[in-house]
Structure 1
Amino acid sequence: MKLFMFAIGGDYRNSNVELHDVRFATGETEAECYPELHRQWWGDAESLHLDAWGELAQADGYDITISAEPVAAGQPRLFFVNLGGYNGTEFGELHKNLLLVAEDAKAAVARALAQVQGWNEPHKDGVFEVDKALDLSADLARRGLHLHLRPASAEQPFRFSCGYIPIGRMPETYPAG
């Protein structure tokens, strides 16, 4: 079982531009995750598409494995942190997505804010805003799966693919699951 991160997009009701979200799903391949992405998508089903995807085999210097075996108490957890801000040269809000290993959400947020660079305007209230900090370890545990983190012997960058892959109109071709 592998953990995948997806940047998905599509339309919602009468939106003027397509909307995007970052979602996580488990499977042996990206394609095995498509039914789960459909269940998670809140927009118009037929417009759902992938914009980026990749397996999370490692994050923040830790190897990642998924299993049914519970994690020992007191182990660090994996957080997805989404930061929002502006740089003054691009119209709209910019986002930075981080995967951080920490003891709790407060520590993950503090580490994320320390990494903000290149934005000269705050999101709101004079500070860079953490739009969302998602505890991926807890999210998987609610589904009966457990995220195990082990310090990596060598750090590897997150390898991902980008492209427009429509998945909204072909659920009958997805693997069972």
Structure 2
Amino acid sequence: MNLFMIYIGGDIDGSNVELHDVRFCIGDTIENCYDDLRRQWWGNPESLHLDCWGALDYADGYDILLSKDQPHEIADKLYFVNLGGYSKKEFTELHKNMVVVAPTDSKAKVRALKTVQQWSSRHRDYQFDIEKAVCINDTVQSHGYHIHLTPSVTEKPFDFTCRYVPIAL
């Protein structure tokens, strides 16, 4: 089983622009996640599509493994952190999404902000604040699985695909 991080999009009645969200699903393939994504989508069903997706098997110095068994130690958890901000050069809200490992959501937010501050020091126009931190462990547990985090000696880039894929029924 894989833990997928998925960037979905579509529209909702009355909107002038397409809406997006990041969702987490469990499946052997991305196609196995379509029904779950359809259940999660709050917008117009006929507009639902994927924009980006990838299997999360590494994050923030840890290998990620899904299992039906509970981990022996649960000191750290996996968090998705969404940061929002603005640039004087763009008429939109900018976002930076990341996955971090931390014991609490408040520590996950601090960890995420530190990485953005280092990045933004080279881009003075950008100012970011935490919009939301989501504990991915909770999402996975609601599907009967547990996340096992193991320190890794090898950093692995997040391998993802960006492509428009309609999944509406």
**What interval of TM-score do these two structures reach, taking the shorter chain for normalisation?**
over 0.9
Structure 1 residues 49-87: Cα deviation after superposition (integer angstroms, max 9, x where no partner): 000010101111111111110122443100000000012
Name the counterpart of 1:13.
13
Query: Could you say if the C-alpha distance between residues 5 and 82 of structure 1 is closer, same or farther in structure 2, counting changes exceeding 3 Å?
Result: same
2:37 corresponds to: 37
Q: Flag the structure with higher strand content.
A: 2
**1:85 aligned partner:** 85
Asked if the contact 1:79–1:134 (Cα under 8 Å) also holds between the matched residues in 2, the reply is yes
Structure 2 gap ranges (5+) = none
Question: What is the percentage of aligned positions where both structures have the same residue?
Answer: 50
Q: Which amino acid aligns with 1:120?
A: D
Following the alignment from structure 1 to structure 2, what is the Cα–Cα distance between the partners of residues 91 and 77? 35
Query: Cα offset for 1:121?
Result: 4.9
1:158 is displaced (CA, Å) by 0.2
- Cα distance change of structure 1 residues 132 and 91 upon mapping to structure 2, 3 Å threshold: same
CA RMSD of aligned residues (A): 1.2
Corresponding residue number in structure 1 for 2:140: 140
Q: Distance in 1 between matches of 2:72 and 2:105?
A: 18
Q: Which residue of 1 aligns with 2:71?
A: 71
Q: Distance in 2 between matches of 1:49 and 1:139?
A: 21
The amino acid that maps onto 1:72 is H
Q: In 2, are the aligned partners of 1:86 and 1:119 still within 8 Å (CA)?
A: no
Matches within 5 A, 1:85-104: 85-104=85-104
Report deviation, 1:119.
5.7
How far did 1:139 drift?
2.0
C-alpha contact 2:63 2:152 (8 A) present in aligned 1: yes
Instruction: Give the AA of the match of 1:21.
Output: D
Distance 1:164 1:119, change over 3 A: farther
Q: Distance in 2 between matches of 1:156 and 1:72?
A: 24
User: Which residue is equivalent to 1:174?
Assistant: none
- What SS does structure 2 have at the residue aligned with 1:33? helix
Gaps of 5+ in 1: 123-127, 170-177
AA aligned to 2:51 is: D
Match of 1:161 in 2: 161
2 CA distance for matches of 1:68 and 1:132? 27
Q: 2-side partners of 1:119 and 1:87: how far apart? A: 9
Could you tell me how far 1:141 is from its partner in structure 2?
1.6
The question of 1:120 aligning with 2:125 is answered yes
Aligned equivalents of 2:10 and 2:138: distance in 1?
A: 27
- Counterpart residue identity of residue 146, structure 1: H
TM-score, length basis structure 2: 0.92
Q: 3-state DSSP class of the match of 1:86?
A: strand
Taking the aligned partners of 1:4 and 1:74, their CA distance within structure 2 comes to 21
